Amino acid sequence: MAVEASAAAMPDVILEVKPFGKSGVRLCWQRREVGKRIGPLCAIEANTGVGETAKLVAEVLAGKDWLAVDEALGCSGVIVVRSLPHLPGTEPKTALWRLRCGEEASTPKAMPRVPPRAGEARRCKGVQLEDEDVEQVYNILQWYGTVVIDMREGDVERLAESWVCPDIAALAKLTFRDDALVMGFLPAEAEAVLQGRVRRRVYTVGSAVVEPLLRSFKVLSAPPVQKRPVLPNVIGARLVVGHQGHAAKLDEWSKHLNIIGVINLAPNVVPSKLDAIPDRAFYHEVWHSDAMPLWDTADDGRRLCDVLPETLAVIDRALGANPSGRVFIHCQQGRSRAASIAAAHLLTQNSSWNLFDAVSLVALRRPETEINLSYAESLEEFALSLGREPALDQVRRELPRHLRGGGVAQDWRDKMLDA
């Protein structure tokens, strides 16, 4: 997000604004004044609207004083601001917890940020997709911050929330995005401008992908000005992984993805919508034999092993009852517990796969995947029991951002931070 600093006596602020979840924002900043050393890193996460985000940014740039969590919490150099009345949903402990657990805070950008020009654009990574990879194209459309550039000409079926044949001038005004999906041919000069507006990757795919994409996911077909529906990720054709927001609106979208089974891994906090699928017998709430749900904590791996057999059996029964149906797997955030169950099921369905193969596919389809290390260790045991080669070390080396050192269950997180 670009921010213009106009106040004459404003101290030098290094500020990064980036998306957090589906509707939140994360700000990380440091302040440097003349003759003084750079200040500590500050961070805030909030579920907030565009207007409130702009207000928050303006207050940071204007040097507004913020209350800080007691430095005795022990995270070196990090101050997390407390919530203010106009920023509902701010959770400073969550922000601090994520930074403590090694999550990348973001790369600071000097403000003000000058919009890139054609020929001078910072080049992000370009990725050419195969026309056959319909599932990955669908998932890219569900990632937060993806902009769709549709270069197909003529009277053709369009995708919701897409830019149709934009020129260079229009691309230069595009707000900064995480990823872009280009359908059809984009001239080199226009591509250079687009790459300057995208932080991570520009995905390119041929026009031929659109027909099978819209045949498989008809809900994506809509006028370009219409907002794209927010749907969970499809993994391995028949699994769907999401979070509590998706679960809360299951009855609104389940038919679009032909959901015939549900695995609820957070039944203590996420209400089940039994009437959202055809057969309630395939709506499974995961409770351990101790009458508690999985907690996603650092010592919870053994409990995951305990619930795996029954959970995987429910998935198989549901998929067997409807050869074209899908099973929706969710927890609260859709990052660890749901991803773990999806990885386990992929291991059972692909006889040559090891843990690295399974986690790689889950992470490719759902980049926010962060499997609890304790769960990953239990999944490695499960893979070994299926006769697969060890692969946890490879996951550690090549997919470190998709492993989490400990859980983020709120009660456990707060207990650890308050200790």
Give the C-alpha separation, 42 to 15, whole Å: 10
With a cut of 70, list the residues of the chain below it in pLDDT.
1-11, 19-24, 32-41, 43, 45-50, 63-123, 405-419
Give the C-alpha separation, 266 to 42, whole Å: 32
The pLDDT value recorded for residue 14 is 75
Give the C-alpha separation, 45 to 52, whole Å: 12
Q: What is the DSSP string of 210-261?
A: HHHHHHH-GGGBS-TTSPPP---EEETTTEEEE-HHHHHTHHHHTTTTTEEE
Q: Pairing between strand 371-372 and 403-404?
A: parallel
Strand order through the sheet with 259-264: 233-235, 239-242, 326-330, 259-264, 283-285
The pLDDT value recorded for residue 3 is 41
Q: Pairing between strand 24-32 and 41-47?
A: antiparallel
H helical segments located in 77-160: 92-100, 134-142
Cis-peptide, bond into residue 232, ω within 30° of zero:
no
> Helices (H), strands (E): how many in the chain?
14, 16
The pLDDT value recorded for residue 4 is 40
The pLDDT value recorded for residue 26 is 72
Residue 110 backbone phi and psi in degrees, to 5: -70, 135
The pLDDT value recorded for residue 416 is 41
pLDDT in tens, 49-69: 667 777 777 777 776 655 444
The pLDDT value recorded for residue 73 is 40
Domains and CATH numbers, the chain: 12-100 (no CATH), 125-220 (3.40.250), 233-418 (3.90.190.10)
Q: Pairing between strand 326-330 and 283-285?
A: unpaired
